[in-house]
Structure 1
Amino acid sequence: MRIRLDPWPVDTQDGQLTLKPFAGLVFNAETDRWAAIAPREVPSWLTRVLVVDGKRRMEARLLLDDEAGGLSLAGFGAYVAGAVDLCPHGSRQADLLKVVAQRVLAYSGDGGVTLEPTRLSPRNPHTGQLEYTPHAFAGTQLEGALGKVQRLMLDAEGDLSRRLAAALPLDEHDRAALPDTLVLQDGPVRIGGAGRAVLGCVKTLHTDYLGADRIGLLGTLKPGERTPVLRFRVGDQGGSQDSEGREQRFTWYVRLCDPPFYQHPLAGVMRLEMHAPEDSDFVPRAVLQVANLSGQLLCRLASTPHKDARAPQNLIPTAALEHAMDRAMGSAELVTRRIRSHLARELGQPTGAVA
């Protein structure tokens, strides 16, 4: 028996490696030869790369009671979706974009209740006003409010990625179209986002799309090398026609660094995704170009363990963006105190005891 270390922190959800076999079908898209493909230089036509990520936070769970005695669940939450704008050739300084917090009053809409925006007045002239916009969720589950904030954050990420990315035609007649602006989006690409140059960067490997006969290649990849491009359908469960999935995706794997000998062989490997045209047997030239440059680009942006416990997959721009998003949402402790003071005033109680 050989024991290997998962390098990510033990408090990271699900760790870095919890592989479950993909239930659907995966097809060769680029080549039938399953072997490592060497990295290539980032081409001059790519002049702008944007790293997009989001963050969400629950700030208070609430229980609402109406005049008829009915009870329902709700919660105050916040989310941010932002971007880091950088030059892939290092010719200019990186900039932060769109890092503005949005606050949400998520509540169960099953009881027919309609809520007005909630404004939390500042405690002093320097703290500003907090405004929570109501958003209803279906059901009465305790996790409903958190799920609603998460959904709003993911939608904001997807919208931001689509707005910032260059157009990427996916039909066979536009094989020469090359994007000058590429978006690196944290996690898989979003449903409905086809036609834009968005590259999904999946840091944690949850699903095995390769099978036992192919996954061994990942452990032998050198930094910057990638696997051939594959194609699958999102949500494909195999078997019945009703479970064929919703959208087609291209996917491939890239190694960002050589792992130490004591870590498991997939440490430092990231899975990448792009939208695929429906029912096609070709890889658009632009997608192939992005796949070719992805290893070199991501190796340049990869973090190191002494700077980030989730290295190398948590890219340096992503970590910087996370810090900016934390600042945009503000101190969780101070926000909680503001919420308590607000509720005390609403209930007609002195604020000194709860502030």
Structure 2
Amino acid sequence: MTTAEVGAPGNRAVGVVPFTDAVYRSCADAPPGSADCVTVGGVARPYEIGKFEVTVEQWVAFLNTADPSGSDPHGLYDETESSSAWPKYGQINFSGSAQPGRHYSVAYPQWADKPYGFANFLRAARFVNSLYNGRVISKTTAQSGDFRYVSYRVQLSGRTENGMYDLSDPNAVRTHNTGFVVPSQDEWIKAAYYDPRGGGTFSYWKYPTNPGVFGDGDATAPQTTVLNPTTGDVTNASTQPLASYHADGKPAPSWCPGQVSRQACATVNPLGLDPIAYAALYQGSLSSVGQALTPSPWGTFDQGGNAVEWTDTITPPPSGGSSVRVWRRLHGGISNSSAYQMWPSAVGLQPQDNVFFNHAYPWLGIRIGVIGDLTPCQPQ
């Protein structure tokens, strides 16, 4: 796992009104009637956040560690994720007859470096617990221009139900001050938008790829990726800034594994949608991590577009209603949707265990974080 160091502790937060094209010095400056304004982006301490999204290859390694018998007691896998059930989006295949620890495999080699796209928060937390309970074999740091990165080699653990998060509690929060985490909303937003050099508006960019101009709609949005039609690799990385999203008036970035027929990719889906409805609803595809080559102010990649990502921030349900379910914030936009989902105000939310959502929405990703001073072989 490689992370980007995020400094400037105690940075100023900004106010945002969900899904509006603006940031404010504080919610007191938001327009009258903006009762849903929230303050985001301020983080008191240094931390680290994933340089890239968690990839399919990394997730498969976790599945085979956490579920060596293939019995899947914690709902880490769904048949929807298979290449037979969903030729265009199926990332991971399961074999019940495989040897212990080998039941799960990357569906096609092209998927290995794509973001895992079928996460819910509980899956993300279990992945983090596996890292937390594992053994940190090595830790190395590197400087790349203005950015500092930390690379960890971790031997994963099969213990997933406690660690950083005690999943016996539906309202699970961090239980330790050092270790791997699912980033909070503020940590995620700071890494994506906060410019320590003072660029943007109140030091916040409009997109994780470039400062943009608040109030101009998508006029200063990044360009959209073009993907190799059979591998999903980005082919126009020389065009900067760049992100994998569906720009208005342009085709969504899309690909289909070369091993699959075009007809199967265009028609076969686990939801039973007819080809016309399927083509309208499912256009964008996930691209290889980092290949858009456009960094955030802290050197992360793909925080704009590609897969929307979970945070561990618990939030009230929509419209202030009551709910027995636990809701958490997500952020980042997706390859299937417009530029507005990449704004800092795009503070989406979903139930942490929305089975239908992660069954039918193949753009749900994970980016890990690190808090405290995590050292090799440190007992956790």
Higher strand share: 1
- TM-score normalized with structure 1 length: 0.24
Higher helix share: 1
